[in-house]
A = this chain, B = another copy of it.
Amino acid sequence: MTSIVAPLLAWPARVSIREVGPRDGLQNEHVMLTTAQKVLLVETLADAGVAMIEAGAFVRRDSVPQMADTEEVFAAITRRPGVMYSAIVPNAVGARRAVLARVDALQVFLSASESHNQSNVNMRVEESLVQAADIAAIVRNAGLRFEAVISVAFGCPFEGDVPLERVMDLAGRLLDMGAEQITFGDTTGMGHPGLVRDLVLAYSARFPRVKPRLHLHSARGAGLANVLMALQLGVDCFDASVGGIGGCPFAPGAPGNICTEDLVHMLHEMGIATGIRLPALIDATRVLERMLGRTVPGQTIKAGVCKHLPPDGGPRGE
Contacts and interface: CB of A to CB of B under 8 A. Distances in A.
Interface of A: 8-9, 155, 157, 160-161, 189-190, 192-195, 197, 218-225, 227-229, 232, 248, 251-255, 258-259, 262-263, 265-266, 269-271, 295, 298-300, 302-304, 306-308
B157 A303 contact: no
B192 A222 contact: no
B221 A265 contact: yes
Most buried by B among A225, A232, A269, A308: A225
A224 B193 CA distance: 10
B190 A220 contact: no
Contact of A299 (B161, B219, B270): B219
A221 B298 contact: yes
A302 B157 CA distance: 15
A131 B271 CA distance: 38
A206 B113 CA distance: 49
B218 A299 contact: yes
B308 A160 contact: yes
Contact of A193 (B157, B197, B219, B228): B228
A304 B251 contact: yes
B9 A269 contact: no
Contacts of A224: 221-222, 224-225
Contacts of A306: 155, 190, 220
Nearest to A195: B269
Contacts of A155: 306-308
A295 B255 CA distance: 14
B248 A303 contact: yes
Contacts of A193: 228, 266, 270
List of 10 A-B pairs having minimum Cβ-Cβ separation, nearest first: A221-B262, A254-B303, A8-B8, A192-B269, A219-B303, A254-B302, A224-B225, A160-B307, A251-B303, A253-B302
